[in-house]
Amino acid sequence: MRALLQRVSRASVTVNGTVTGDIGAGLLILICAMQGDTEAEADRLSAKIVKLRIFKDEAGKMNRSLRDIGGAALVVSQFTLAADLRGNRPGFSYAAVPDLGNRLYEYFASRIAAEGIAVKKGIFGADMDVSLNNDGPVTIWMDTADL
């Protein structure tokens, strides 16, 4: 699985004019299931994300986790994280097929919630308008192949 984390002071996702999820301080997590991914990758990735110390402590150092700050997560499916850029037009054949992608997206979000994090979501496969205030900015790329 691949994820792009953005530390935010606020973030929201809107589908067809309706806000489907919004959070205050926490993480916007753009997530993509790749071919061959299973629940094991979602488990590893979710466990790592909630413990990742990327929030400021009293001294202004990145030393606190999402759990430590009582932050929330806005989880948004993003198959374009699987882009193959060998040509001028991206290909997405490395992404999981939609049924598996949706199942792993929902499973991943449930694993974040199981860690005690408030979770809001986008809608899998929908055309979404994502809005955020990137705090820092702090943006981190993660791939389970590298964990």
Burial pattern 52-68, b for ≥16 Cβ within 10 A else e, equals bebbbeeeeeeebbbee
Which amino acids are annotated catalytic?
78-80
Q: Determine the 3-state secondary structure of 36 from DSSP.
A: coil
Residues paired with residue 72 on neighbouring β-strands, in sequence order = 26, 118
- Between CA 82 and CA 77 the distance in angstroms is 11
